[in-house]
Amino acid sequence: MHSMPQPPIQESKEQETPLVFDASVLRHQLQLPKQFIWPDEEKPCKDVPELVVPFINLGGFLSGDPVAAMEASRLVGEACQKHGFFLVVNHGIDKNLISDAHLFMDDFFELPLSQKQRAQRKAGEHCGYASSFTGRFSSKLPWKETLSFQFSADKNSPNLVKDYLCNTMGKDFEKFGKVYQDYCEAMSNLSIGIMELLGMSLGVGKAYFREFFEENSSIMRLNYYPPCQKPDLTLGTGPHCDPTSLTILHQDQVGGLQVYVDNEWHSISPDFNAFVVNIGDTFMALSNGRYKSCLHRAVVNSQKTRKSLAFFLCPRSDKVVSPPCELVDNFNPRLYPDFTWPMLLEFTQKHYRADMKTLETFANWLQHKRN
């Protein structure tokens, strides 16, 4: 029996002795602090089935073959109507860059907690170091550490990632900053290509979403899931849909990503040569609900640290999220009000813990505010 995950209680942190997620200590602890123990109906299940996800070969599309582009867009469209997850291969991203992006994570996450806290995320912000969500919530905490930073495809901010990491962590992090600057640029280019396929599959043409996201202002997140001695009691990341537009994820070989499809959890196994791509809430609104953002989570294990690289494509802050007119008619009326990405981001940072109902709740909240 796989019960539907319940939306997290939208509670904020009470004033009490702050809990600190120090991975170097907690990875060995047999007794988990109660804040990390999830309710029985949301605890991870053993031996979940593998999700059948299409492999989209981008080779022909990237080399300009129109037949290959049509086939790729057809497969993308089918996946997005079903669950919003697909894998891309022959994507043209340098394998050494991917390896370096995984390798350099250790340079940060293996530091003592006090040094990682130089990049500490401030309340209400989405960039910086976060050790679980200990500052924001007091229950159903994720068993992970993250480092998030802003990327801009704007020509006027060519070194935004590198400068942020060097300014925050010091000159020793110059090479580290360069790796993630290069990685973000590669992800931005790849996501623009995927947006062309999404435009073709929705019948609005290649250029529509490419132009919308060309000067994207996106978020890069390094996820670090330390081993947990009681992995069946907690989750690395709780069930949620991404509020962003498109997520491009690269997993290491440990595995732990699970997706909720047809009323049960499924796993997506790691594949070094593939990126896992999924639709987020912002694109669900842009497509007027035609394409779905899908519920997913991450589980942890007792043996190995798991690492993943997540690039969240987001539109430039002044872009109005409104579906193209081709996707709105008498049979398909507008599902969501107009908004900008910073409005939804602020909602998830200050008012709401992202889950499977974020977009719906945000739309209601917006309409209530506007009335």
Indicate which residue of 290, 306, 316, 353 is catalytic: 306
Nearest Cα neighbor of 197 from 103, 338, 62 is 62
The answer to whether residue 316 is catalytic is no
- Which residues is 248 bridged to in the sheet? 277, 311
Q: Which residues have a catalytic role annotated?
A: 306
